[in-house]
Amino acid sequence: MADSVSIQKLVTDLKLQVYAGEAHLKNKAVTVSDISRPGLELTGYFNYYPYERVQLFGRTEVSFTQNMTPEERLMIMRRMASEDTPCFLVSRQLEPPMEMLKAAEEAGIPVLGSNLSTTRLSSLVTDYLEGKLAERRSMHGVLVDIYGLGVLITGDSGVGKSETALELVKRGHRLIADDRVDVYQQDEQTVVGEAPAILRHLLEIRGIGIIDVMNLFGAGAVRAETSISLIVHLQNWSQDKKYDRLGSDTEEQMIFDVPVPKITVPVKVGRNLAIIIEVAAMNFRAKSMGYDATKTFEANLGKLIEANSDEEE
């Protein structure tokens, strides 16, 4: 988990304009993902001023300042320009008040801008900061994008996760991370996985070594991150264990506070794991769209039993 995000990185990643304070971009940082739209502060109420947040000015805030005298604007802006205020951000390519620029320059605070609407810009910055500042955990496994679904392949070391991922890449799917997956919770229903910077685009195959998937298969064979929709756990085949044959058993694994569906696939010589996992992803998508082959089978079985009962009578 990152403790902060520099304003320089915020500007670069979100392609923001810099109206003033370019020299302070590397020195200032954001530590919280919440955004502040200073409505009450513009009226002079500072009892609960969230100074540590990005201060976002939209059309409402800018137009309100235009009804103030220059002296009032400068006084308010100086009070808002706290030592810990990361930056001022103006939406819709609105012209920031001169008093804002002056107060920001005095306090060493960058003034940024964007052509996006205020609501859109607020969502963009919030989502970005939540992703960067979210708590992260490392999970052992391989994360692959299969038909747009993030599938996390887990299992004991040596069970064949990386080899299976390589076969999936050859079949046109995309690698996100091999061996170690950094995950974070994006919202109440979504966890996102990505590769650590040192392992990005790399895949380890025993007997060959480390290969660069993007270099060998092209940019379309990799992806930076994806939400995790399904966990496929590879387990060495054992006659003593019972495996789900109908797909009626539902299993989930908690990642942070999000339950993620999980299936267990037994590994046995002769089984094509890549195709099995590919079909598992397709079947999962079909179920999410309302079609369940297990229910179809159970309905057909019920009709057969009923027909046989009628014949006996």
Binding-site residue ranges for ATP: 155-162
Three-class DSSP category at 246: coil
Q: Of residues 26, 59, 137, 140, which has the active-site annotation?
A: 140
| CB 57 within 8 Å of CB 114 | no
Q: Which residues are annotated as a binding site for Mg(2+)?
A: 162, 204
Q: Is 110 helix (H, G, I), strand (E, B) or coil?
A: coil
Q: Active site includes 170?
A: no
Can you count the helices (H) and strands (E) in the chain? Answer: 9, 18
Q: Is 73 noted as a catalytic residue in this protein?
A: no
Kindly tell me the burial class for residue 246, based on how many C-beta atoms sit within 10 Å of its own C-beta (0-12, 13-18, 19 or more): exposed
Q: Which of 179, 182, 223, 233 is catalytic?
A: 179
| C-alpha span between 62 and 126 (Å, rounded) | 21
Instruction: Please enumerate, by residue number, every residue annotated as part of a binding site.
Output: 155-162, 204
Instruction: Let me know if 179 is a catalytic residue.
Output: yes
Token digits of residue 248: 């009626």
Spatial contact of 86 and 30, defined as CB atoms under 8 Å apart: yes
Q: Mention every residue, 6+ apart, whose C-beta is less than 8 A from residue 106.
A: 78, 81
Residues in the chain, total: 313
Buried b / exposed e across 32-55, counting CB within 10 Å, b at 16+? ebebbbbeebbeeeeeebebebbb
- Residue 207's contacts (CB-CB under 8 Å, 6 or more residues apart) are none
Q: How far apart are CA 114 and CA 245, in angstroms?
A: 54
Quote the tokens at residue 149. Answer: 């679904």
Pairing of strands 180-187, 136-140: antiparallel
Catalytic residue among 3, 15, 245, 310: 245
The structure tokens listed for 289 are 């769209």
Q: Which of 24, 161, 173, 233 is an active site residue?
A: 161
Give yes or no for a contact between 277 and 153, defined as CB atoms under 8 angstroms apart: yes
User: Is 120 tagged catalytic?
Assistant: no
Among all residues, which ones are annotated catalytic?
Answer: 140, 161, 179, 245
